[in-house]
């Protein structure tokens, strides 16, 4: 059984995971409107990942004897200055999510809720990739300064990304 405090914190994180899903969907829409289908694909895969993360929280809360609560969230941004701006905001967002996951882990350890800590361990590790992947793209965008040929080559590369459902050991 999870405590009420832990249940509240996990439900709040589930909301953030759904928010992330819709944020990346909005970003995919921005890329589609600019005919950057590879960048849109990258964000659509990110959307699928975030949905899977939210469902993992939903199922864990229920399995741990809690009550999953699907909550509303604020409207996300839909307009962006540039491709680089989108990835800068993606990195910032993932760093925020990382801080939130780390805070959840701290709470689980404080409460000696080792089952929740074990569940969160996967997310702690996942967040390393969640920050590194868009950071790499941001670094590349800053190198090429969004110039035509380089941007189109990166767009083609990002079109190759596919969704791989999370595997939790």
pLDDT digits (tens, 9 = 90+) for 93-107: 999 999 999 999 999
Structural domains of the chain ordered from first start: 4-71+80-158 (1.20.1260.10)
Please tell me the predicted confidence (pLDDT) of residue 15.
97
3-state secondary structure of 148: helix
What's the pTM?
0.91
What confidence score (pLDDT) does residue 115 get?
97
CA dihedral 3, 4, 10, 13 (to 10 degrees): -150
Cα 8 → chain centroid = 20
Ranges of residues in the chain whose predicted pLDDT is under 70: 169
């Amino acid at each position: 059984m999870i405590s009420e405090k832990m249940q509240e914190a996990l439900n709040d994180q589930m909301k953030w995971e759904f928010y992330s899903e819709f944020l990346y969907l909005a970003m995919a829409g921005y890329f589609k409107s600019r005919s950057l289908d590879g960048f849109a694909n990258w964000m659509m895969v990110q959307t699928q990942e975030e949905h899977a993360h939210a469902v993992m929280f939903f199922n864990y809360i229920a399995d741990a004897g809690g009550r999953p609560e699907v909550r509303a969230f604020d409207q996300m941004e839909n307009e962006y200055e540039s491709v680089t701006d989108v990835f800068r905001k993606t990195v910032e967002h993932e760093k925020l999510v990382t801080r939130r996951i780390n805070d959840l882990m701290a709470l689980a350890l404080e409460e000696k809720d080792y089952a929740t800590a074990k569940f969160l361990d996967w997310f702690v590790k996942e967040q390393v990739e969640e920050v590194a992947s868009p950071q790499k793209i941001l670094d590349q965008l800053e190198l090429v300064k969004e110039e035509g040929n380089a941007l189109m080559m990166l767009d083609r590369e990002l079109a190759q990304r596919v969704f791989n459902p999370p595997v939790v050991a």
